[in-house]
Homo-oligomer: A and B are copies of this chain.
């Protein structure tokens, strides 16, 4: 546990608290995407992490602080997934891999590990100024990671492509998630995929 690097005032393993903190954030990130911002109660998140609610304020100043970290984590996780997929493809078709990865039944069926925009966009838009600012920062980081893979020669073209492609994908996943029949969901996803792949 890298004991030699321990700060002299540390009593517990140096990483122990950090790891617990991160586990809480990761579990909250899942819960927030699955049940919405108002669906992630402090006690429930702590139970997910194998803890009791009392210890929460040893890790976070408030529930809002957890929520902003959880949304940040969600953007990071989804960003990692899309970057990983995009990097496997030749640069010219990377954006197509992002589209097929995003508009996938797996993504549509598992909001809890998916893009936070598809499960939280309207709630983020309604959040108070502080939270909105912080979440917008995370959204911008997410966008900046996607930009290199977007189609277009000039930066402004790629920025425009990001908005158009992600707008369409977000709306498509949201509609798909409302539909009861798996076959309807798959058709919606496939139609949007074909539409986008032919549009740039």
Asked, given contacts A39-B126, A123-B36, whether A163 binds B177 with beta carbons under 8 Å apart, the answer is no
Q: How many residues from A make CB contacts under 8 Å with B?
A: 42
A74-126 contacts to B, CB under 8 A, are 111, 117-126
Question: A55 within 8 Å of B by Cβ?
Answer: no
Copies in the complex: 2
Q: In the complex, which of the residues B34, B36, B125, B188 contacts A174, with contact meaning CB atoms closer than 8 Å?
A: B125
CB distance from A41 to the nearest CB of B (A): 12
Contact with B along A5-20 (1 / 0, CB 8 A): 0000000000000000
Q: In the complex, which of the residues B163, B174, B191 contacts A175, with contact meaning CB atoms closer than 8 Å?
A: B163
Least CB separation from A180: chain B residue: B136
Question: A68 within 8 Å of B by Cβ?
Answer: no
Asked, given contacts A168-B168, A192-B163, whether A178 binds B35 with beta carbons under 8 Å apart, the answer is no
A175 close to B121 (CB less than 8 A)? yes
A-B contact pairs, 10 of them (CB 8 A): A35-B126, A120-B122, A122-B123, A132-B180, A136-B180, A163-B191, A164-B195, A167-B174, A168-B168, A199-B199
Interface residues of A (CB under 8 A from B): 34-36, 38-39, 111, 117-126, 132-133, 135-136, 139, 160, 163-164, 166-172, 174-175, 177-180, 188, 191-192, 195, 199
